[in-house]
Amino acid sequence: MKRQRTTRNSSYLPDDCWESICTFLVDGDYYNHHYLEPLSLTSKYFLSITNRLRSSFTISDPTLLFIPILFHRFPNLTSLHITSFEGDLNALLCQISKFPFKLKSLKLSDCSTFPTEGLRALSRKITTLISLTCSNIADLSNNHCVLISDCFPLLEELHLQHNATYSTRIQVGVETKLIALPKLRKIILSDHAFYNINNNSLLLHLCKNCEFLEEVVM
């Protein structure tokens, strides 16, 4: 019996070791979390470990009803992608703001409206956001650039992409809004969104006012 206990103890690994193994499997890749799914099915113990390691999550209409359950299941999320969402995006972001996430990255894509009130609510509760993507948002405008800089002054990465089929465009003067992001390191601006801006003027403003800037894509 003593030998059996010794054998069991010798095969035991503490939580932090299993977390390191699981982290190695994921290797920081957003799309590799599916490698953890078979492991999570083996026992409640491994399920609890893999749940803690999940750092990214995609929200679309089918997942809406399960948001509270999923957020309690994955308490350490740092990256959220909300895509093709046809519901009340402001209400969803307000709901997200009530969870104690240390959110670092938020991506909004293919949404019909810009969630002004939702982002304001999120910024009041979550101050860790450093990366924001707004891709194919129907009514993206100058005022929204002001809102972004006011709500998230610590942004290091900003990606604004506009679909050419939408009528609203961001006009000249946007550079004065973007310079309110002193920690900005990377900015991606689509041509369709910024069709009436002098790229040289915008680039000059960014270089003069964003001392940490490393990459500009226009």
Residues 6+ apart with CB under 8 A from 217: 187, 188, 189
What are the CA-CA distances from residue 203 to residues 83, 86, 133, 192, 216 (Å)? 30, 35, 19, 17, 8
153, two tokens: 């002054």
Sheet of 105-111: strand order equals 56-59, 79-83, 105-111, 131-137, 157-161, 186-189, 215-217
Predicted confidence (pLDDT) per residue in 68-100, tens digit: 888 988 889 999 999 998 889 999 999 999 999
Tokens 């308490």 -> residue: 75
**Predicted local confidence at residue 4, as pLDDT:** 41
63, two tokens: 């997942």
124, two tokens: 């009041």
Would you tell me the crossing angle of helices 44-53 and 15-26 to the nearest 10 degrees?
A: 60
Residues 6+ apart with CB under 8 A from 17: none
Q: Which is nearest to 19 in space by CA: 52, 41, 42, 44?
A: 52
* Domains in the chain: boundaries: 1-54, 59-217
**Predicted local confidence at residue 6, as pLDDT:** 37
**Predicted local confidence at residue 5, as pLDDT:** 40
| Highest-pLDDT range among 139-148, 156-165, 174-183 | 139-148
Predicted confidence (pLDDT) per residue in 25-71, tens digit: 666 554 556 656 666 656 677 777 777 778 888 998 767 778 888 89
**Predicted local confidence at residue 141, as pLDDT:** 76
- Banded model confidence at residue 106, pLDDT cuts 50, 70, 90: very high
Per-residue pLDDT for 208 more than 50? Answer: yes
Residues 6+ apart with CB under 8 A from 182: 153, 209, 210, 211, 212
- Report the share of the chain in percent with pLDDT over 90: 31
CATH architecture, domain defined by 59-217:
Alpha-Beta Horseshoe (3.80)
Q: Give the residue with greater pLDDT, 191 vs 17.
A: 17
**Predicted local confidence at residue 87, as pLDDT:** 86
**Predicted local confidence at residue 196, as pLDDT:** 53
H-assigned helices in 12-88: 15-26, 36-40, 44-53, 67-73
Radius of gyration from C-alpha coordinates of the chain: 21
**Predicted local confidence at residue 218, as pLDDT:** 76
CA distance 184 to 7: 54
102, two tokens: 């240390």
Per-residue pLDDT for 178 more than 80? Answer: no
Its pTM stands at 0.79
Contact, 119 vs 92, CB < 8 A?
Answer: no
130, two tokens: 């450093």
**Predicted local confidence at residue 64, as pLDDT:** 75
**Predicted local confidence at residue 66, as pLDDT:** 82
